[in-house]
Structure 1
Amino acid sequence: MGDIEHDVLAGVGDRLRALRKARGTTLMDLAVETGLTASTLSRLETGKLRPTLEQLLPLARAHGVPLDDLVQAPLTGDPRIHLRPVRRFGLTVVPLTRRAGGIQAYKVIHPPAGRAPKKNLQTHEGFEWFYVLNGHVRFVLGDQDLRLGPGEAAEFDTRLPHWIGSAGDEPAELLILFGPQGERAHLPTTRK
């Protein structure tokens, strides 16, 4: 193994452990999620086992990070960020952060109101902040039914029943920050 390969693989174990702990996942849970044994995962995290591509691919998928982040591949010199939009439940979602745990950022595009998915209020653990970039959205939070336009923002505890959808004939684009329960998407300001 050459110096470059050794350098690339040297910190994989520490990164794998940090990602797993940030997600609050046990070795057993991760084993079920990846199809790897808990023993193999432990040996990878401690550096006693050299990782293979067959092991790293399911780990990258499970942690929701690109393979390059696991191995910290050398920089190519290309400063561009290559975002990969995904379609979920009729929405276009562009993940803007690439790390497990903590606050996550997304750009979400809601289809025009006539083509939007059925309004179903949902609840889940977490705290969310969103900012309307373009278009108008209908935001239902508990008993409140609000309409927000470009430049407006809202934040809420996602344990409250909520729904967000386009409120017009045009798609609505949102910047969303989502964090685990107890983590708010903004920092309080203090005056001196």
Structure 2
Amino acid sequence: MGSASHDRGREERITPRTTAQVVDAVGPRLRALRAHRDVTLAGLSEQTGISVSTLSRLESGQRKPTLELLLPLARAYQVPLDDLVGAPQTGDPRVHMKPEVHGGRVVVPLTERTGGVRSFKQVFPPGTPGGEPSLGSHEGYEWLYVLSGRLRLVLGEHDLDLGPGEVAEFDTHTPHWIGNVSDSVTEVLCLYGPQGERAHVRSRPA
């Protein structure tokens, strides 16, 4: 009983309880995160466009955190904004995915990251998208893993038929088209880097 009371008391001391306490905890949280990432104030300033003096005052608590300051920092650290401010948990442990429909396929985001490589699950109904392949290109780098079904990938001059367990990765500047030309549903895991970030694949030496 005494141990449980001690744990609750410790949690109350280290967990911000009021808005003022949450705001006061932002500076030390940012300083600890920067130290953990081994980033200098000058380097962070280059990434965010925020002056070194403003960053220093923000970490020391002399400057109040605002969205104008926190949003660039969240992008630079590639973490949700809630992680920077230490927003209290809602008590609901469920992850609420918000599927979207693009070109007939269902796209489910698997991460809430504001930048960097993002992950998605894509579900292609049979014959999606319809018609002849229409190749397009855009900035980024993509990594695909077929979970089930079959996926057709037209990549430049290549026309590939991918099955479960097969992987493809490519620069999305290359004209490409992705679709399901089979009679069953195809499920795909996708990693996408908007600025060309590639997935880091490690393997044992031959």
Larger radius of gyration between Structure 1 and Structure 2: 2
1:92-103 counterparts in 2 under 5 A? 92-103=106-117
1:164 CA drift (Å): 0.6
Letter in 2 for 1:121: L
Q: Does 2:145 align with 1:145?
A: no
Instruction: Give 1:90's match in structure 2, choosing from 98, 104, 114.
Output: 104
**Where in structure 1 are there 5+ consecutive unaligned residues?**
28-41
1:110 CA drift (Å): 1.7
Other-structure match for 1:104: 118
Q: Does 2:172 align with 1:175?
A: no
Q: How does the TM-score come out when normalised to structure 2?
A: 0.61
How many corresponding residue pairs?
Answer: 167
Distance 1:155 1:130 in 2: 6
Q: SS of 2:20's equivalent?
A: helix
1:49 CA drift (Å): 4.9
1:181 CA drift (Å): 4.4
Distance 2:128 2:179 in 1: 10
Letter in 2 for 1:112: P
1:105 CA drift (Å): 0.5
Distance 1:77 1:117 in 2: 47
Q: How does the TM-score come out when normalised to structure 1?
A: 0.65
Conservation of the 8 A alpha-carbon contact between 1:127 and 1:156: yes
Conservation of the 8 A alpha-carbon contact between 2:105 and 2:123: yes
Q: Does 2:169 align with 1:155?
A: yes
Instruction: Give 1:11's match in structure 2, choosing from 7, 13, 26.
Output: 26
**Where in structure 2 are there 5+ consecutive unaligned residues?**
1-15, 35-43
Distance 2:128 2:140 in 1: 29
